[in-house]
Structure 1
């Protein structure tokens, strides 16, 4: 045995062992969605969760401006003072000189200080705005989960479609092989011709080509499903849900739009963003109002540690902008523009949701009709093939009738798979558009 052949056989044996050790993951549609929407699942879900944490951190920072602050301090001071430098002078006394330099004096100060905002309307509005941003982030997270469920569901359906197309291609190859044998038998019996065999062999070659394409499409669809789920791409899959047609109820667009206004998280998120922009604008508008805070401190003060005496202070502070108020005008103008932009986005989001619903309803209605037509066409084409085979075997028809009928059966099978996939995909799109994707996954 040659060395290259030995290497090839060893490599093939190793690959076979690995393939046998790798157990396929039994995966239903529900399980695929569950894996994708887990905390460590799809990328979009994880990013949305991090956005909630960031928004909550901004809320805590805004709340910190309204909470009391307490500080502890220790100050050691060594100083001297020149009385003359301070403008203090004493009259001359004969025989006695009053010193002008005082010190050095060393003091220690242990102190606790506290401040509390009593009235700060801009900071209150900014805190309320940050809370609205947290609500918007949570709604965005729901939207991302909703979109991820739809993406994974469609990827799963596409993998099912690819499996069905692959099985259909195998069935078409088997049918073509049977017709080749039939043509050969007819020629041997003297009722067929060589051209009949050639036609069936050409059909067989075409079906084998389609089988190769279907195999590639199947592998690609499974990789896309794994990527949508956020798992390793080397996982083998065993899809457990069947690619069967289940009739769907087509809702009225107006009722679906009404339901979406309550269910779609994108609408909730945009409403919260607009509310946040309104509160931010209010904060800028109230910048010229006075701010009131309370302050106080308590501690002990004395020379080093020899004598420490208690001291305290307490009071109220009010700050009222007098000059420089107009410097905030550009910021207020920017805040007003951002508020108007959010209003425009709110209107646009509502229109986009309505568009998605109407398109999904139209697609589902069309898909239901396509499935009905495709199933009828498949039934009729199979009848035509059976009749053509009987006529050919009886010697009252030529082989081209059989190959033509075979081609129509193959295309009808493919059209049926495509129609069922489109119907299921349209149901998923409608569920995402309305916001009740979980009902469509049942």
Structure 2
């Protein structure tokens, strides 16, 4: 019993150790690659591409000959049927035939039937082209889903970085408030500070600790969102690696990008959808044209399942719907309406992308301007705090001024942190808006 208990405890300790391991850091390219492998939305998009390709394969069947094998056993004393069976078996004997009251005659028939469509008003060709364009549209939609996912991973990655820096800023604020509290406590005991100064310090320290709790919770939440964006959930403890690049550098935008977003997969998919709708309209209009097909058939007939006689039949079939109850007219009207819907969707997509590009540019400009101003604000807040502390030490400033300066410095640092993360997210958003791959 003791060995089993020991093994159980060892296993429990090992499991606890595994769960207690630090999350595995991922660089941004590694995180994007992992998300592309595991994200369920992207997996569904890939299956939609496969379904579209299968639909294309179905339309191509119309261009191949169709071959069927069939067999039938029948028996009858119907004069016409019995006569035809005997003829097919090449066993009809006119001298012994009783045309009005024939004996029961049976027949075992095996046949091979081949047919091929020669012309059907261009419907098959148009359907194949529409299916091909539809498959290409699904592929473009999949690429759009990949780009959306890469951007979401990028945003989540930089959000973790921002949350970590918020935690550091909050920890620094708590440490500073604790030091200030100790300072005013010592001065109060020495009779050099008011009781209100001590109370103010304790209130500010409590607020700083509350901010730290909120910052740590935001970090934990951002890491959870990051893992779910990657499609791994909580089964794989991963996190964003600490960035190594200089965040003070100006974030570049590809010079060659300009305002050209013609490569956006969403736009490509919309153009393909319009082209597919045009082919569907052409397919519907084919119902007004004649249809021509060729066929061939070979039969084996026997009355005793031993001796078979063969015969063949071949020909060409031509059909033209003179009146079909306005069925074709209705199909054409529906296809034309679908085409207008696709064109409207294309226009809507173009407008949406134009707006997205403009918003991304403005957001990047704003974030870059915030980088310039917040960097100066942090330096000024640090210098102001240092001066006020010196004045307070010399009895020339109130303690509330020290606390206000500490609060201002913390706020300036947080604005700087947010500006850095927002600038990187805005740069990624602009790359996505222009249809450029995220790296």
TM-score computed with the length of structure 2 as normaliser:
0.87
Correspondences of 1:206-217 after superposition (within 5 Å): 206-217=207-218
Counterpart residue number, 2:42: 45
CA positional deviation for 1:214: 0.9
Correspondence 1:419 to 2:419: yes
Select 2:54's aligned residue among 42, 57, 66.
57
**Which of 344-353 and 300-309 deviates more?**
300-309
Q: What per-residue deviation string (whole Å, max 9, x for no partner) do you get for residues 295-340 of structure 1?
A: 1122422322232122111121111111226332122111111101
Correspondences of 1:286-297 after superposition (within 5 Å): 286-297=286-297
Correspondence 1:312 to 2:312: yes
Structure-2 separation of matches of 1:434 and 1:268: 13
CA positional deviation for 1:66: 2.6
Counterpart residue number, 1:249: 252
Structure-2 separation of matches of 1:102 and 1:353: 80
Unaligned runs of 5+ in 1: 1-9, 87-95
Counterpart residue number, 1:89: none
Unaligned runs of 5+ in 2: 1-8, 84-95
Structure-2 separation of matches of 1:411 and 1:343: 50
Correspondences of 1:86-235 after superposition (within 5 Å): 100-120=100-120, 121-233=122-234, 235=236
Counterpart residue number, 1:28: 27
Structure-1 separation of matches of 2:312 and 2:127: 33
Q: What per-residue deviation string (whole Å, max 9, x for no partner) do you get for residues 266-314 of structure 1?
A: 0100000000100000111121111111111224223222321221111
SS in 1 for 2:326: helix
Correspondences of 1:329-340 after superposition (within 5 Å): 329-340=329-340
CA positional deviation for 1:20: 5.8
SS in 1 for 2:199: helix
Q: What per-residue deviation string (whole Å, max 9, x for no partner) do you get for residues 120-147 of structure 1?
A: 2112111111111000000000000001
SS in 1 for 2:76: strand
Select 2:70's aligned residue among 69, 73, 79.
73
**Which of 314-323 and 407-416 deviates more?**
314-323
Counterpart residue number, 2:93: none
Contact 2:292 2:316 in 1 (8 A): yes
Structure-1 separation of matches of 2:232 and 2:180: 44
Counterpart residue number, 1:280: 280
SS in 2 for 1:381: helix
SS in 2 for 1:100: coil
Structure-2 separation of matches of 1:64 and 1:306: 37
**Which of 215-224 and 263-272 deviates more?**
215-224
Correspondences of 1:11-22 after superposition (within 5 Å): 17-18=16-17, 21-22=20-21
Contact 1:250 1:364 in 2 (8 A): no
Q: What per-residue deviation string (whole Å, max 9, x for no partner) do you get for residues 206-225 of structure 1?
A: 10010111111111111111
Q: What per-residue deviation string (whole Å, max 9, x for no partner) do you get for residues 371-414 of structure 1?
A: 11111100110111112222222333332221111111111111
CA RMSD of the aligned region, Å?
2.7
TM-score computed with the length of structure 1 as normaliser:
0.87
SS in 2 for 1:307: coil
SS in 2 for 1:295: strand
Contact 1:289 1:320 in 2 (8 A): yes
Q: 1:250 to 1:436 in 2, by over 3 A?
A: closer
Question: Number of paired residues?
Answer: 414
